[in-house]
Structure 1
Amino acid sequence: MVRRRSRGTHEVRLLGIGAVVSLALVAGGARGQVEAAPLRLDLLLRGGLVLDGTGAPPRRADVGIAGDRIVFVGDAKDLTAGRVVDATGLYVAPGFIDPHTHATADLQSDDAALRAGLNHLAQGVTTVFIGNDGDGSPDIRDRLDRAQQQGVGVNVASFVGFGAVRRQVVGEAAREPTADELQRMKDAVAKAMCEGAIGFSTGLYYAPQSFSKTEEVIALAREAAVRGGVYDSHLRDEGSDNIGLKAAVEEALRIGREADMPVHIAHIKALGVDVHGKAPEIIALVEAERAKGREVTADQYPWAASGTRVSNALLPRWAMDGGKAALRARLADPALRDRLVADTADNLRRRGGPMSILLTSGPHAGKRLGDVAKAWGVDPVEAAFRVVRDEGDAAVASFNMAEADIAAFAVRPWVMTGSDGSEGHPRKFGTFPLAWTKFVIAEKLMTPEQFVRRGAGLTADAFRLTDRGYLKPGQYADVVAFDPKVFAAQATYEQPKRLSTGARWVLVNGQVAIADGQPTDAFAGRALRRPAQPDWKCPK
């Protein structure tokens, strides 16, 4: 066995004998000095154009796999394999890593069809992160153990979430925690990190996280920082709802500085008419911080519509103090009516008006809020109140972004692809292929190698996945071979659950999950944990 210290961590990995032999073969091919006995591969992808995740241009090469590892990348004319796949005409790339999903319910489901994660696999995604936006349960061990025991189709890693922790300790109230409550939250974050969380996520836009002060967030983030975590945040404001987009980015950067940890901005955007055209200003902020040596990254989806619920999109944060029951009581309180109407109307204006809001769940799924209001014969604000109060607070796709801003963020080398996949929105089924057809094919904003870099290698680096994200010997065999001519999203806002096309072969930990375009039900995914280190203090 060969021992290798992983980059950026104290973790020691073990590479199997196959990797040792393959490294010798590669070295021999490069220098003509090292010889090794012929290696029999389990699977060989032959003749494809390899995009290795580093951003290097494509090259024609064969990719050999033994067990769950990549053991060879090069000319495999002298090697044999139990299975040979003709990858001619395909791009062969590391399996994509989605850093922002809302896949927890699917991956924890008793329904095997949901746990199979075909919506991810059909996009070439082999690893997903859950617990984003502050929703990550602090019970990391139980969550990941369940995924491993039940079987999942993709690899899964989890954040510990500020919202889940605050709700557990403080509840839904708009107040500061007591000293005892703050300590209990810090202990919960520390314990979750010791159980394998990859970082600390926040959704400061959402109640009850929106009730926190920056100092509270920093105190908890430090617990993750000293245990190797990344700070992942849905900003307190992505537009002009409260403190403003620029101030929200500055807050995230401050949290990273004072907690001394990498910062990752979730689904970076300029949301709403008040901030359209502000992307260059936000890019300058981030790049100034990076120039000082701080680690700052972001993820982005290519869709022009965000996704959330009517309440989150339109109702003011103050109305959510105390949770859903308190919100319904405020909606019924005549004394608060004028204030609620005024604040909701202003939020609706920011979002582009009632025809920019597409309901994606509930009895009016597929209809615009403006059309629902017209059918009911009421003002759009009253229609929003009714949907929240009487119809379960429908999910929405909110068309609130400008294409120029999307393009400006897309080309930055620190921005990766992330779906923010949620129910009712096509991004859950089609984000990575849409990024391909939009950014690479149609708009020519990036090359194929840059697309793969932002979908795999960059993400692995940012989140310290030291043995995934690249096509090279020793890496786990998460691989996608896709047809560049037909790799495309089929999901639409009207039909959001259509599977993407073009991912011809997908491997997860060396097992074939999609074979010639057809799913195999391999359930080869694994729970990915950040290993605890001996010097960490871990609460019991």
Structure 2
Amino acid sequence: MGSERHDASTRGRFLGLKRLPLLLCTALTASCTTVSPADVDLLIAGGTIYPGGADPFIGDLAVRGERIVALGPRLSVNAARTIDARGMIVAPGFIDPHTHMDGWLTSEEPRTRLVEPFLMQGVTTAVIGSDGRGPVEMDNLLAGASGRPPGINFAAFTGFGTIRQQVIGNARRAPLPDELERERTLVRKAMCEGALGLSTGLFYAPQSFSEKPEVVALAHVAGELGGVYDTHLRDESNYTVGLTAAVDETIAIAREAGIPVHISHIKALGVDLHGMAPSIVARIEKARAEGLDVTANQYPWEASGTSMVASLVPLAAQAGGRPAMLARLGDPVVREGMADNLRRRGGPDSLLVVEGPWKGRRLSEIAIATGTDPLAAATAIIREADVSVVSFNMAESDIATFMRQPWTMTGSDASGGHPRMYGSFARKFAVYAKERRVISTREFVDRSTAVTADFLGLKERGRLKPGHFADIAVFDPATFAAGATYEEPQLVASGMRTVVVNGQLAVDAGSLTGAAAGKALRRTPPPGRCPA
């Protein structure tokens, strides 16, 4: 990374200096002059700076305390630590809008809370509570970060699935009027305690048992309190209503609830849908032209991550919870539905089991090893546990089409057993920006930082700008790439040289420092909308 000049006593931490009386530099196009007697804690010098939402330039960036205080082509300041970033890309810390890192960020184990898979990709903020699984007790979640500090920042959605199960359970029916009001009250509670908005996973039981009016009613509460609506579509394939109808439903929910909507891990899933991305993009563009705030995120992999049950068992057979589902597995109608779902997914060779006794084996291999047909093998596995699987089901042309859209942000949908946790941001840069040139480097940076921060309402983050929090990623464009593969999904990315979280070095010279500088980020509701 080049030479470094530093006081060894300040490695991994910064001096506590007085706040600068003035910003050192306010323009990116003019040289910056010495401001004396001001000192800064960190100077990142000579890198190619992608500020987020603006053109890149070669220059310097200065940090003092938690904040960026200056950036420009040339800074002349006294720095406790200077990092030579010549040849490196200097970007805002990446923001992941859809993850399943709840357990990591709230772990009792300090090392786990550092979230190494994300830091080594330059991800400094993650959103949790995805797919309708976020908590109602938002204050407990967010306040816990002060006593158990994480390595990165996080914000959270409250979850429709959590709320519906708490009020209705696993019943396949609409809520009664008093139940609907209880659901709305729980959304309001979570929003007033700092939730980003409402997330849903309408594909998953029992959320799949809901109808649009119920979702609209709850999303409307979140929208009134300044939140956004994040959704795993009711159907990303043709399991039930189909992808097109699911997108139309999502747009209708946004319109009727008066809320910005975000489609998570957008895709055209399954052999029957390959090539559909252009028509889905056209529907979203039409809604946006009509004034609706519709966006999406996407992970850069041709395989999704889910469970054996979610992949194969018809939704109707999942009603009533696991015991009821297991009792139905011998039903010929259920078996027929499972057979069609397996075909839809691309056949038994398309499902890779990533946990349990059959970890690392395709369903086709398991069937041969057990002397049974693939459906019998899958049924036997499900009776033991609902194992996680990697499902190869997408076409590269669809991935590229969605990725090119200016409203498609980078996301990981991070979950165990899939390389997307350890490599999504790194792979998107190395494969889709640098190698295949599907997007430019600036598009990669902007849609991993500023665009995401703006949609989520994360103030003073997502850009390298004086006064903003110092969340910074410095990486080598020649070597920044995913190490994780489907066979070895837990290999960290390469090429990330420096990561700063709220002004503290979290990654230094390519290694974790152990600093846990992350914060829980609360959305502040509009004044007067919540109890004092």
Task: Give the equivalent residue in structure 2 for 1:533.
Answer: 526
The alpha carbon displacement at 1:286 in A equals 0.4
Cα distance in 1, alignment partners of residues 245 and 287 from structure 2:
14
Determine which of 410, 418, 421 is the counterpart of 2:411. Answer: 418
Determine which of 360, 370, 378 is the counterpart of 2:364. Answer: 370
Task: Give the equivalent residue in structure 2 for 1:216.
Answer: 214
Cα distance in 2, alignment partners of residues 164 and 28 from structure 1:
46
Alignment of 1:131-530 (within 5 A): 131-331=129-329, 334=330, 337-390=331-384, 392-530=385-523
**Residue 467 of structure 1 aligns to which amino acid in structure 2?**
E
Residues 468, 20 of structure 1: alpha-carbon distance in 2 compared, 3 angstrom cutoff: farther
Cα distance in 1, alignment partners of residues 464 and 110 from structure 2:
29
The alpha carbon displacement at 1:375 in A equals 1.0
The alpha carbon displacement at 1:537 in A equals 3.7
**Residue 274 of structure 1 aligns to which amino acid in structure 2?**
D
The alpha carbon displacement at 1:129 in A equals 0.2
Compute the RMSD of aligned alpha carbons.
1.7
Cα distance in 2, alignment partners of residues 60 and 35 from structure 1:
18
Residues 38, 290 of structure 1: alpha-carbon distance in 2 compared, 3 angstrom cutoff: farther
The alpha carbon displacement at 1:420 in A equals 0.2
CA contact (8 A) 2:30 2:73 kept: no
Cα distance in 1, alignment partners of residues 468 and 517 from structure 2:
16
Cα distance in 1, alignment partners of residues 171 and 158 from structure 2:
20
Task: Give the equivalent residue in structure 2 for 1:39.
Answer: 38
Map Cα deviations across residues 21-77 of structure 1 (whole Å, 9 max, x no partner). Answer: 115x43698599x996443111000000000111x3321010100000011011444
Identical-pair percentage = 49
Cα distance in 1, alignment partners of residues 528 and 358 from structure 2:
54
The alpha carbon displacement at 1:78 in A equals 2.0
Residues 22, 495 of structure 1: alpha-carbon distance in 2 compared, 3 angstrom cutoff: same
Map Cα deviations across residues 298-332 of structure 1 (whole Å, 9 max, x no partner). Answer: 0000100000100001100011111112112222x
Cα distance in 2, alignment partners of residues 299 and 465 from structure 1:
16
Residues 218, 62 of structure 1: alpha-carbon distance in 2 compared, 3 angstrom cutoff: same
The alpha carbon displacement at 1:109 in A equals 1.3
The alpha carbon displacement at 1:181 in A equals 1.0
SS of the aligned residue for 2:69 comes to strand
Cα distance in 1, alignment partners of residues 376 and 19 from structure 2:
65
**Residue 351 of structure 2 aligns to which amino acid in structure 1?**
I
Task: Give the equivalent residue in structure 2 for 1:6.
Answer: none
Question: Normalization by structure 2: what TM-score?
Answer: 0.94
Where do 5+ consecutive residues of structure 2 fail to align?
1-16
Residues 28, 295 of structure 1: alpha-carbon distance in 2 compared, 3 angstrom cutoff: closer
Task: Give the equivalent residue in structure 1 for 2:26.
Answer: 26
Cα distance in 1, alignment partners of residues 75 and 501 from structure 2:
25
SS of the aligned residue for 1:21 comes to coil
Where do 5+ consecutive residues of structure 1 fail to align?
1-15
Cα distance in 2, alignment partners of residues 537 and 81 from structure 1:
44
CA contact (8 A) 1:21 1:39 kept: no
Residues 27, 339 of structure 1: alpha-carbon distance in 2 compared, 3 angstrom cutoff: closer
Cα distance in 2, alignment partners of residues 286 and 468 from structure 1:
27
Map Cα deviations across residues 322-346 of structure 1 (whole Å, 9 max, x no partner). Answer: 1112112222xx5xx2101100000
Cα distance in 2, alignment partners of residues 341 and 321 from structure 1:
16
**Residue 503 of structure 1 aligns to which amino acid in structure 2?**
M
Cα distance in 1, alignment partners of residues 27 and 48 from structure 2:
21
2:100 is the counterpart of 1:99? no
Map Cα deviations across residues 434-476 of structure 1 (whole Å, 9 max, x no partner). Answer: 0011111111111111110011011001111121000110110
Alignment of 1:69-84 (within 5 A): 69-84=67-82
